[in-house]
């Protein structure tokens, strides 16, 4: 299968939570890590999240640094990445920053009745917004279909940024090449707080572990980088 080199990135607490249950987004990283993630984004062609992340965070998923944006332009690329959204229901806010910002457009991956739902949501967007389209990726959407479509669009490197159900979907698919974890120096301790992953049949087991290729400190944040495919491209 021709597919993008796929990197999964997540910031979490020591007990594996990616947020708490409060109304404000929990800060799980520091400025040094944010800068590294910005560099990682700038090296990729597309960035992907799930509908839960879109609803909870309203992210723009942009390259923050003007210098990094200019470097992308100098290489003949858009300043920002193509944005990809995975949603089973096809329900999302078409006025979200995900759709209204950036210069590379967006693709919504859904399936079944979600296809018509998503297309209706996008139908009345302002003409000045970046382009957005809906792709049927199966009912429910599959990682294989999403990656195949992104490859057809010329995406060579994909960055997946969550949330927990998307992390699980990609990790259980066996189609992730690299995992980058930033671990905050505290525990959340709330039973209902969202997790890095939810239960699933993961191919990364004690008999087939991931390969740790980097472990370092960024201030009090621990950065761990794993390779999941021993034959992965560099």
pTM for the whole structure: 0.95
Residue 146 lies inside a defined structural domain of this protein: yes
Cβ proximity of 26 and 12 under 8 Å = no
Question: Containing domain of residue 38, as a range?
Answer: 5-200
> What is residue 158's three-state secondary structure?
strand
In sign, the C-alpha dihedral spanning 41, 43, 49, 54 is: positive
Which of the residues in the chain have pLDDT under 50?
Answer: 230-234
Asked if the structure places residue 17 within a domain, the reply is yes
The domain that contains 128 carries what CATH number? 3.40.430.10
In a domain, 76, yes or no: yes
Q: Is residue 228 part of a domain?
A: no
Per-residue model confidence (pLDDT) at position 234:
35
Examine residue 137 and state whether it is found in any structural domain, yes or no.
yes
Whether 32 is covered by a domain: the verdict is yes
pLDDT of 166 reads 98
68 in a structural domain = yes
Take residue 135 and report the two structure tokens written for it: 């792709």
| Confidence (pLDDT) at 37 | 98
pLDDT value of position 163: 93
The answer to whether the CB of 83 falls within 8 A of the CB of 106 is yes
Quick one: pLDDT at residue 1?
63
Number of structural domains found in the chain: 1
Q: Which residues contact 11 (CB under 8 A, 6 or more apart)?
A: 18, 28, 29, 33, 181, 182, 183, 184, 221
Domain assignment of residue 232, yes or no: no
What confidence score (pLDDT) does residue 209 get? 96
């Amino acid at each position: 299968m021709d597919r993008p080199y796929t990197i999964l990135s997540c910031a979490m607490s020591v007990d594996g939570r990616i947020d708490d249950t409060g109304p404000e987004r929990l800060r799980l990283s520091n400025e040094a890590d944010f800068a590294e993630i910005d560099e990682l984004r700038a090296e990729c062609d597309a960035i992907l999240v799930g509908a839960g992340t879109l609803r909870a965070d309203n992210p723009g998923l942009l390259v923050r640094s003007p210098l990094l944006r200019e470097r992308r332009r100098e290489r003949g690329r858009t300043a920002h990445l193509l944005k990809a959204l995975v949603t089973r229901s096809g329900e999302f806010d078409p006025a979200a920053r995900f759709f209204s910002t950036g210069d590379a457009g967006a693709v919504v991956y859904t399936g079944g009745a979600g296809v018509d739902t998503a297309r209706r949501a996008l139908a009345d967007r302002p003409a000045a917004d970046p382009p957005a389209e809906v792709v049927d990726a199966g009912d429910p959407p599959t990682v294989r279909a999403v990656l195949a479509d992104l490859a057809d669009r010329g995406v060579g490197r994909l960055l997946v940024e969550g949330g927990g159900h998307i992390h699980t979907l990609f990790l259980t698919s066996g189609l992730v090449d690299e995992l980058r974890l930033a671990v905050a120096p505290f525990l959340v301790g709330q039973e209902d707080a969202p997790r890095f992953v939810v239960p699933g049949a993961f191919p990364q087991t004690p008999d087939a572990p991931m390969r740790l290729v980097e472990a370092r400190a960024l201030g009090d944040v621990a950065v761990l980088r794993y390779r999941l495919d021993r034959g992965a491209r560099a």
